[in-house]
Structure 1
Amino acid sequence: MKDAFGIPQSLLVLGGTSEIGLATARRLIARRTRTVWLAGRPSPALETAAAGLRALGADVRTVAFDALDPVTHEEKLGKVFAEGDIDMVLLAFGVLGDQAHDEEQPLSAVRVAQTNYTGAVSAGLVCAKALQNQGHGSLVVLSSVAGERARRVNFIYGSSKAGLDAFAQGLGDALHGTGVHVMVVRPGFVRSKMTAGLPDAPLATTPEAVATAIETGLRRRSETVWVPGALRAVMSALRHVPRPLFRRLPV
């Protein structure tokens, strides 16, 4: 169960090598979290991530999980919940893709969509059902400001995140009153391995800053978290810019 401050004692990270996921796990372990599951494709990187968290004093376990194999999600994730209650699930997997390449190779674009959206729908529903059955817990979904309005430079990624964001909001409404809390996190440009080599966007942030915002959101039982917070106003304005003008903006 969560403590009096809303910090989970147990955590499941879907996307066990995610930099934001691991930054969040480290932050929560420093507070209260004692059991962590890292779900991801078996790899040396996954085991290294687990070892790093164990060094902080947590009981860390790994579970084989592939966003692109939804047929196995219920079985794989069901085994985690069978071991005991999970206070928080962090859905942190996703791929950025390469917009120019993916436009020329539709199957690559489909892979981005399947990972970021359909894989997340499958895993999200499986975890939501398990959390509802145990009667408590939080499902934290990493969305993106890119999903707020599709841009020419990354509309494939942005559209997949738009779908995920809408799904998570609807899921939160469906679970309202059940004891399960759904929180959508919308970071801007995050300096990470995923964005290595790309120029910083305005209001760029870090995995650690996103982790801090997640912890604050859990304490407040927020439904939507923007990182940094100033993006809420920025994106509210951009959503209403007339389309001919929006096309000319350097965004």
Structure 2
Amino acid sequence: MPSPRSRQALLIIGATSDIGRELALKLGAGRPVILAARRPQACAGLANELLEIGASAVHTLSFEATDLAGHRELVEHANTLAPIEVAVVAFGILGDTARSESDEAHVAEIATVDYTAQISMLTVLADVMETGTLVCFSSIAGWRARRANYVYGSTKAGLDAFAQGLADRLHGSKLRVIIARPGFVIGSMTQGMKPAPMSVYPGDVAEAIVQAMSKKRGSATLWIPGRLRILAWIMRLVPRAIWRHMPR
């Protein structure tokens, strides 16, 4: 008889992202893993690694974040492959700050991918999943929007507020929400950018999430690293005349 865990799936939505990949490898052994990505063919290497570390099966699905009407179909299809126990919403774009200052279409693209599509997907997952864990990604960028990346920061602020409300709605149920608030993440999305203070790597973010999941408690909000909480408190106190000149 297969173990109960072997029948409960890990769903990574945005499986080509650095953090999505790290979480897949940390959580995928001994269970089915479903990898959803805009370019599913790019998941072939990760799928092979997952099978090598003991994933009981690996499925790859095509996912387009801006196809909001397709979100429920994707999740319901994934759930027929194996009941979803852990769902990680790991897709997103940073966008081009200079372009977003004058290109309304690009602003709308960032807002759609980083906010509208996120809350759409979280709503579907919370409706379809009966038990387990939802993981989503806020950011220090959303704590107080900065001149240097205010469009991206505003989407993270909105997503954070939505996720907090969703966690409150699910309180007392068998479904919990883990909200990650990392600082600057050194990875493919930020390649070529100067790291900020308290920067982390995708593996650091994934490990913090895994540790939070292991505690078997309810929903949680994670500052990554933990001392980032102090910097966030200080950020609130900086006068706006100074804050508007802060770098990314």
Query: What TM-score, normalized by structure 1, do the two folds share?
Result: 0.90
Residues 20 and 208 in structure 1, CA contact (< 8 A), matched pair in contact too: yes
Q: Secondary structure at the match of 1:154?
A: helix
Matched residue, 1:13:
12
Whole-angstrom CA distance in 2 between matches of 1:69 and 1:82: 20
Distance verdict in 2 for CA 1:101–1:114, change over 3 Å? same
Confirm whether residue 224 of structure 1 aligns to residue 212 of structure 2: no
Q: Secondary structure at the match of 1:197?
A: coil
Matched residue, 2:59:
61
Whole-angstrom CA distance in 2 between matches of 1:123 and 1:196: 27
Q: 1:112 aligns with which of 110, 113, 116?
A: 110
Residues 38 and 63 in structure 1, CA contact (< 8 A), matched pair in contact too: yes
Please report how far the alpha carbon of residue 42 of structure 1 lies from its aligned counterpart in structure 2 after TM superposition: 3.5
Residues 30 and 54 in structure 2, CA contact (< 8 A), matched pair in contact too: no
Please report how far the alpha carbon of residue 23 of structure 1 lies from its aligned counterpart in structure 2 after TM superposition: 0.5
Whole-angstrom CA distance in 2 between matches of 1:154 and 1:35: 38
Return 10-19 or 46-55, whichever deviates more. Answer: 46-55
Please report how far the alpha carbon of residue 152 of structure 1 lies from its aligned counterpart in structure 2 after TM superposition: 0.5
Alignment of 1:65-144 (within 5 A): 65-131=63-129, 134=130, 136-144=131-139
CA RMSD of aligned residues (A): 1.9
Whole-angstrom CA distance in 1 between matches of 2:239 and 2:140: 18
Please report how far the alpha carbon of residue 49 of structure 1 lies from its aligned counterpart in structure 2 after TM superposition: 2.6
Amino acid at match of 1:126: V
Aligned identity (percent) is 42
Amino acid at match of 1:183: I
Please report how far the alpha carbon of residue 175 of structure 1 lies from its aligned counterpart in structure 2 after TM superposition: 0.9
Whole-angstrom CA distance in 1 between matches of 2:97 and 2:75: 31
Whole-angstrom CA distance in 2 between matches of 1:87 and 1:167: 21
Whole-angstrom CA distance in 1 between matches of 2:233 and 2:24: 30
Amino acid at match of 2:43: L
Whole-angstrom CA distance in 2 between matches of 1:125 and 1:240: 34
Q: Which 4+ stretches in 1 moved above 3 angstroms?
A: 248-251
Confirm whether residue 167 of structure 1 aligns to residue 162 of structure 2: yes
Please report how far the alpha carbon of residue 33 of structure 1 lies from its aligned counterpart in structure 2 after TM superposition: 4.5
Please report how far the alpha carbon of residue 247 of structure 1 lies from its aligned counterpart in structure 2 after TM superposition: 2.6
Q: Secondary structure at the match of 2:24?
A: helix
Residues 2 and 87 in structure 1, CA contact (< 8 A), matched pair in contact too: no
Residues 34 and 61 in structure 2, CA contact (< 8 A), matched pair in contact too: yes
Gaps of 5+ in 1: none
Q: Secondary structure at the match of 1:67?
A: coil
Alignment of 1:173-212 (within 5 A): 173-212=168-207
Equivalent pairs counted in the alignment come to: 242
Distance verdict in 2 for CA 1:2–1:224, change over 3 Å? farther
Whole-angstrom CA distance in 1 between matches of 2:234 and 2:83: 41
Whole-angstrom CA distance in 2 between matches of 1:9 and 1:203: 35
Matched residue, 2:45:
48
Whole-angstrom CA distance in 2 between matches of 1:90 and 1:105: 31
Matched residue, 2:243:
246
1:139-192 CA distance string (max 9 Å, x none): 011111101000000001100111111111111111111111111001111111
Residues 10 and 33 in structure 1, CA contact (< 8 A), matched pair in contact too: no
Q: Secondary structure at the match of 1:100?
A: helix
Whole-angstrom CA distance in 1 between matches of 2:106 and 2:66: 13
Whole-angstrom CA distance in 2 between matches of 1:65 and 1:127: 14
